[in-house]
Structures are given as structure tokens and as C-alpha cells.
Amino acid sequence: MKTVCTAGTPANEWIFFSISARNLTFNTVFIRIVTGFAGEGRSVWKKDPHFSPVSETQVFLYDTFPKEFLWGIGTGAFQVEGSWRKDGKGSSIWDHFVHSEFRDADSTDASSDSYTLLDKDLSALDFLGVTFYQFSISWSRLFPTGVVAAPNEKGLQYYNTLIDSLLYRNMDPVVTLYHWDLPLMLQEKYGGWKNESVIDIFNDYATFCFQTFGDRVKYWITIHNPYLVAWHGYGTGIHAPGERGKITTVYSVGHNLIKAHAKVWHNYKKQFQPYQKGMMSIVLGSHWIEPNKSEDALDISKCQQSMDRVLGWFAKPIHGDGDYPEELKNEFSFLPRFTEDEKNYIKGTQKGNHSSGLLHTKRKSFKDTLLILVFAVHKVYRGAV
């Protein structure tokens, strides 16, 4: 069962869609401009003469959420676990980055200490009445060096307890494999995501997680916002590992992240999904930008360019034809190229799982910078939507 609801001009505006499979689905907002032809999305910013003026309050839909809607919250391991050196955990690039760059590093050492205060956090989830909890696994808590070997038993016990406790409370665990905290040893030995070797190491780690937790986890996320990993981790240096690299390095990292996602997706689809019956997604991050109440061709072109360079960079290969937006390829001669085999391997690495995630930033004019985070998981019954 497939339902589609479009807003504005059907061919070019936002597309809200829900595809039901196994009575469960992720619900997302998808933007056609990142999967169409070069420049096709420019019409998004043109005024539609068929629209009547509306007030600010009329922009929003006032209604009741369906009873099957899943309300939940999400965290990242580095943000909440704390206990950064406890029970055999290895250092991550964020541990090292914070201790190297900030004076007040102690505040992140403990964070909110969910590792030792798990029972209290679970009680808080009970109080909130959530139906899912999205969390990430600390790669270096399971494998201190990042390389899959005998797992750290204390770390393994923690995640088993967390997952079992959520299921006992009728809460769905939504598990992110990589939320930025690469094991430090992989950064120091290989150069982190600059090195293609990390793709296979990441896949080994993901395989262990599927084998160990996949009987209970039915929602997986490969990577949380790869744009920020590449751009701010290896470009501006304001995120871990804090490298202020060349633009060529930034796009090389993004290239490897896309291939890492695709490899793990195919691994799960072929080896585990047939009997575990789970879903897999990647969470992409983006802003939304408008040409400052203008239909000037230059402003519209700048908006399209901005979307291509943030959302389209990752969304078009994965959701579209397996390749980068034409604007990126035309602008940057140094942009890494996918082979035809790689394009076919990467494109559609969402299909069959019927899941997707989007971090979306509040719309803004070409000169504004206002951000908001959205991540929704929707559970529907066949024929209910």
C-alpha cells in the first residue's frame, strides 16, 4: 500500500509519503530536487499563482495524530553515556577532541552518565510515555580499538540490558551504528574516514551488531548526518577529529561515508533482513532555504546550489541515481567519481527497507540561519493511511 500527498505544485514541491510493508513504516519528508535532473528543483522557489494568501497560523495543520503514531526521543552515545574510560571502553575521536580543544572537558567525561544511571533514564522514559528510543552504540565501548575481535563484555552487557529493558517496557529500540564517535585508534592508524579501509572495518562492526542485537532490534540507522562528519570533522575542524583539511579531503570523506552506508545496507539486506525482518535507514541533515521573497534567477540558482551541496550531496546518490548532483560535478573537477558499478550499488539503498530519516532545518531566506531538528518515526497499519 502506497499513499502520497503532495503540497503545492505536485511535480516539484514537498512530497510526503508513506509506504506500508509488514504494517510498519518510517514516515519521512522527501524533496524531489535531490533526485531529479540538474537544476530541476529551481521551480520549487517560484510562486504558484493558484495559491491564495494565507496567514501564519493557516500554514499549520491542526488535527489529531493517529493512535498508531510513535512518539519517542533520540540521543547519541557521546552525548549521554559518560563513563568515557570505565569498564574497558576505548577512547573515541570525540573524547580526544574535547580533551584537546576545550578547558572544561570534565563536563563531557560524565555527560549525563547514562552508562551508570541507566535505571533512572529508563524510569524517565516510562514517565515520558514514549514508544521508541533512538540511541547510538559507542563503537569504542564494544571494541576499544575499533577492530572487531572479542568484544568488551561490560559494554556488551550494557547494550543488551538497554535493549531488553526497552522491549520489556514495550518501547522499540532504534539503533544508530555511527553517531560521530569513531574509535580513536582508527583515526590515528588509518586517518579515519579519509581512508577507504575504514569502510570494511565499519562493516565488520555492523555485522557484529546485527548478529548480536538483530534478534531484538528492528530499526537500524547506519550513519547519523554524514554531512557534518565530512564538512565539520575534516574541513572546518569544529567537530571531531578536528581536522582543518582541504576541500578535496572533505569530499573524499563524504565519498567514503556513502560507500560505507551502502556496504552495510547491502550486508544487512542480504544476510540478516530475510530472517530478522528489520528496517534500515540513514539520517541525512539539511537546511531549507528560500530566495528572500525574490524570484530573481541568481537568488534561485543560489538556493538550488545550496541544497545540492548539503542535502543533494548525500541524498541524490542514495535516494536517486547513485551519483552526485550535476551542479557539484560541474563545479568541482576534483569531486571523487563513482564507477558505474558503484552507482548501481549505491542507488536505492533505502528500497526494500521502506525506511528513511531526515534531519531538517527550519526554512530560511538566503541570508538567514535558523535551525530546527526534526526526526519522526511513524507506525501505521495496512490500509490505515
Q: Please report, rounded to a whole number, the percentage of residues in the chain having pLDDT higher than 70.
A: 74
201 within 8 A of 147, measured Cβ to Cβ: yes
- The reported pLDDT for the residue numbered 119 is 97
Q: What's CA 91's distance to the chain center, in Å?
A: 23
pLDDT score for 350: 79
Give the Cα separation of 7 and 89 in Å (integer).
48
**Quick check: is 59 in a domain?**
yes
In a domain, 66, yes or no: yes
pLDDT at 13: 27
Neighbour-count burial of 279, counting CB atoms closer than 10 A to its CB (0-12 exposed, 13-18 middle, 19+ buried) = buried
- Domain count for the chain: 1
pLDDT band at 301; cut points 50, 70, 90: confident
Q: What is the pLDDT of residue 297?
A: 81
Cα–chain-centroid distance for residue 103?
A: 30
How many other CB atoms are found less than 10 A from the CB of residue 359? 19
Q: Which of the two residues, 12 and 248, has the higher pLDDT score? A: 248
Checking DSSP bridges between strand 28-31 and strand 14-19, what pairing results, if any?
Answer: antiparallel
DSSP track, 189-222 = HH-GGGSTHHHHHHHHHHHHHHHHHTTT--EEEE
Encode pLDDT of 143-187 as tens digits. 999 999 999 999 999 999 999 999 999 999 999 999 999 999 999
**DSSP 8-state code for residue 269:** I
Q: Which residues pair with 360 in a beta bridge?
A: 286
Alpha-carbon distance of 7 to 106, in angstroms, equals 48
- C-alpha cell at position 162: 538497554
The residue range of the domain holding 304 is 2-378
Amino acid 152: pLDDT: 98
Predicted confidence at residue 382, as pLDDT, reads 23
Q: Are 140 and 184 a contacting pair, CB within 8 Å?
A: yes
What's the pLDDT at 105?
A: 64
pLDDT at 42: 66
Q: How far apart are CA 191 and CA 18, in angstroms?
A: 39
For residue 241, cis peptide bond before it (omega within 30 degrees of 0): yes
What is the pLDDT averaged over residues 218-232? 97
Q: Does some domain include residue 364? A: yes
Q: pLDDT class for 40, splitting at 50, 70, 90?
A: low
Indicate whether 4 pLDDT > 80: no
Across 210-234, average pLDDT: 97
> For position 295, what pLDDT does the model report?
75
Mean pLDDT, the chain, whole residue set? 81
Q: How much is the average pLDDT of 13-27?
A: 30
Count Cα atoms within 13 angstroms, Cβ side, for 197.
Answer: 10
Lowest mean pLDDT among 112-116, 143-147, 303-307: 303-307
C-alpha cell at 150: 572479542
What CATH code is carried by the domain that includes residue 257?
Answer: 3.20.20.80
Quick check: is 384 in a domain? no
Q: Is residue 385 part of a domain?
A: no
Are the CB atoms for 343 and 318 separated by under 8 Å? no
Residue 383 lies in a domain: no
Is the pLDDT confidence value at 360 over 60? no
- Check residue 101 and give its pLDDT: 87
Residue 18 has pLDDT above 50, yes or no: no
Q: Is residue 60 part of a domain?
A: yes
